[in-house]
Amino acid sequence: MSLLIKQSDVQSFREDGVVILRGFFKDWIDVLANGADFHLKNPSDRSLVHQKEKHQGQFLEDFCNWKRIPEYTDFVFNSSLATIASNLMESRSVQFFHDHFFYKEANSGVPTPWHQDMPYYCVSGHQTVSFWLPLESRHKNVSLRSLAGSHLLDREIRPTSWANNESFYDDSGVFMDMPDIEAYEIREWETEPGDVIAFNFKTIHAANANLEKKMSRTLSFRLLGDDVVYNERPGRTSPSFPGISQKNGERLREDWFPTLCR
C-alpha cells in the first residue's frame, strides 16, 4: 500500500514541527514486530534500562541496530520511508541517521521527559525528521506529546541526562532552558499500528510513563535532509559514534549513514 503525502501534512510539519500520518506503514507492522521480538531477546551493547521505584516494569531503549536486524534493514531501504521524509523535509536528498527502539513493560512507570533530540546529536541543520512508529494500539495518554512550533526556537534546549537531570555537556552555556510548556499547544494522538508521528529533531516532545497493563514497543527512524552537517559537540553524543572522524560542516559519511535518495 502506498499513500500520498498531502500538502496539508507538509504544511503542518513545516509550521508545527510535527504531524501524524495515518496508516502509512500498516503493511510493515508484522515485519517490524518480528524484528522487535528478536531485538528484545538480543539487545545491543548500547542498550539502556530505566526503572523507577515502586514500579515493577522496566523501560529499555536501544540505538543503531538497523544493520544487524534484517527486518529493520528491509524497512529502511524498501519502504516508503525516504520518499515520505523527502516530502516532509522539503529536501531533495535523504540520508539515514539512526534507529531507536523503545520498550516499556506494563506498569513501567518511567516517563520520557520533555526534551529536544537535536542537542544530543552530532549534527546540525533544520531539514530533519524522526518517525515515531508504535507497534501496538496506543491510547493518547501513553502516546507521544509534542509542543507545536517549538522547532522554530532560535536556540537549542539544554540537554540533560534522563537518569539524574544533570547537564549532558560540561559547557552548557550555548543552550537555553526549557521554555514554559504551557505557552505551547500540545499535539498528541491515539494511534493504531501503521500510524506514524513525524517530527523535527528540534521539536520539544515527551511521553508519559506506561502505567497500563500491557507493554508498548515503539521504533523511531531518524533521517537527514539537504542542509544537515556534522556538528562536533562538547562531549559525548547520544547515540555516540566513536571514530566517526569528521569535521564540522561536513556531510555525514555515507558508509556509515547511507543516502536513501538524492
pLDDT in tens, 33-52: 999 999 999 998 887 776 55
Q: CB under 8 Å to 45, separation ≥6 — which residues?
A: none
3-class DSSP assignment, residue 132: strand
Residue with cell 522547532: 151
**What are the backbone dihedrals phi and psi of residue 27, each rounded to the nearest 5 degrees, phi first?**
-70, -10
Give CA–CA dist 236/206, Å, rounded: 22
Return the pLDDT at 57: 59
Write the DSSP string, 217-261: EEEEEEEE-TT-EE---SS--SS--TT----TTPPPPTTTS-EEE
Three cell numbers written together for 177: 532552558
| 228 contacts 90 by C-beta, under 8 angstroms | no
Return the pLDDT at 107: 65
pLDDT < 50 stretches in the chain? 1, 55
Query: 72 to each of 13, 49, 98, how far by Cα in Å?
Result: 25, 21, 11
Phi-psi domain of 91 (left: phi exceeds 0; alpha: psi -120 through 50; beta: other) = beta
Return the pLDDT at 203: 98
| 17 contacts 151 by C-beta, under 8 angstroms | yes
Residue 36: how many CB atoms within 10 A of its CB?
20
| 107 contacts 55 by C-beta, under 8 angstroms | yes
